[in-house]
Amino acid sequence: MSPTFLIVGATGNTGAGVTKTLAKELSSSPRFAQHRVIALTRHAESSTAKELASKQHVEVVEQDWTEITTKWLQDHEVERIFIASHNGPTQFSDESLFLTHALESGCVEYVVRISTTAGNIGPATKVAYARTHWAIETMLESPEFGSLGWTSLRPNVFPNSSAWVGDWYRDYKKTGKQGTLKMGIDKDAPLAPIDPVEVGIIAAKLLAQEDISRYNRQKYVLVGPENVTGKGVVELVEKFVGEKVENVSYRDTSFADSLKAKGGNRNLIDNTVTAFISAFDGSQSVEGSPTSPELLELYQLQHGAYAAWQKELEDIQG
């Protein structure tokens, strides 16, 4: 068995970008050319999983990461790990136990993990999963975890989380009638959503570093390369429909109502909405929360949110 890079969530938003980029990086690396990449997924027959399995170095494995043990990591000779955890109620217990197994294994030397928007992280934030990320990072900073290398990436909101242009346009194409265009962003305040694929690319470049000392035990900010506004999104949509969008709901958090209707914890849901509200003042913009310069030395971000939304609209338009 060969030494291994383990990608947790390989078919997810960021994980696919990690896996594809890492496969390329290893091929040109004197140290890691013989390493393999285990790409974890819950559905090995999915199209994304099959695409990843075709890449050099990559082996797709069906495995629930929350059930991975110290012995599993040792048996698979795991040296470096990427993890993008879920953000459900058991996130802290699941991820902290996983990282404890990594520490205990003696074979894992470095972990790159996905955190959340920097402005939301802290011990007193109302956003439940942001408190969890703070707790995980604080745990990793403790002396007990001194032998485990790690980097925590704090990406801004993803484009598909801040403007629901695709849903609106699909309904319009189907019915010929305009609904309300809902956006979890302000009309005028700038926001810089980041492409999750590019987050994955940066994570892969960190994992492929032969010397991680510069990046070890660091927390880095990642925001997109351009600002967007709610007004700008409306203008983009209007180019596709050829008419004025009649009803727009800026700063929209109505998604919380549907979550409550499914029986979720109402208090937690209301508090989670504050993750969106924190972006309404422009603080999560290119200027307000710039990307850490160390990461831009590894990779220059290229994909702004407007381009992502335009592609989505073009795909729907056919």
Band of the pLDDT at 198, cuts 50, 70, 90? very high
Looking at the predicted structure, is the pLDDT value of residue 259 above 80? no
What distance in Å separates the CA atoms of residue 82 and residue 18, rounded to the nearest whole number? 8
Mean pLDDT in residue range 101-130: 96
Domain residue limits at 261: 159-191+225-285+304-317
Residue 275's contacts (CB-CB under 8 Å, 6 or more residues apart) are 116, 117, 120, 127, 130
The answer to the question of residue 297 being in a domain is: no
The answer to the question of residue 296 being in a domain is: no
14-40 pLDDT, tens digit per residue, is 999 999 999 999 989 999 999 999 999
85 and 35 in a common domain: yes
Residue entry with tokens 């160390």: 294
Per the CB < 8 A criterion, the answer to whether 3 and 79 are in contact is: yes
140 and 102 in a common domain: yes
50 and 142 in a common domain: yes
pLDDT on residue 144: 98
Mean pLDDT in residue range 196-206: 98
How far is CA 53 from each of CA 20, 36, 37, 223, 272, rounded to the nearest angstrom? 10, 12, 10, 30, 36
| Strands annotated E in the chain | 4-8, 36-41, 58-62, 78-83, 110-114, 149-155, 181-182, 218-222, 248-249
pLDDT on residue 153: 98
Residue 266's contacts (CB-CB under 8 Å, 6 or more residues apart) are 260
The answer to the question of residue 75 being in a domain is: yes
The closest alpha carbon to 14, from 150, 122, 138, 115, belongs to 115
113: tokens are 């993990």
117 and 89 in a common domain: yes
How far is CA 64 from each of CA 40, 42, 79, 198, rounded to the nearest angstrom? 8, 7, 19, 25
Band of the pLDDT at 276, cuts 50, 70, 90? confident
What percent of the chain has pLDDT above 90? 86
Looking at the predicted structure, is the pLDDT value of residue 104 above 90? yes
Mean pLDDT in residue range 252-270: 82
272 and 205 in a common domain: no
How many domains does one find in the chain? 2
135 and 88 in a common domain: yes
184 and 141 in a common domain: no
Number of alpha carbons in the 13 Å side-chain half-sphere of residue 87:
16
What distance in Å separates the CA atoms of residue 206 and residue 189, rounded to the nearest whole number? 32
The answer to the question of residue 291 being in a domain is: no
203 and 68 in a common domain: yes
217 and 231 in a common domain: no
The predicted model scores a pTM of 0.95
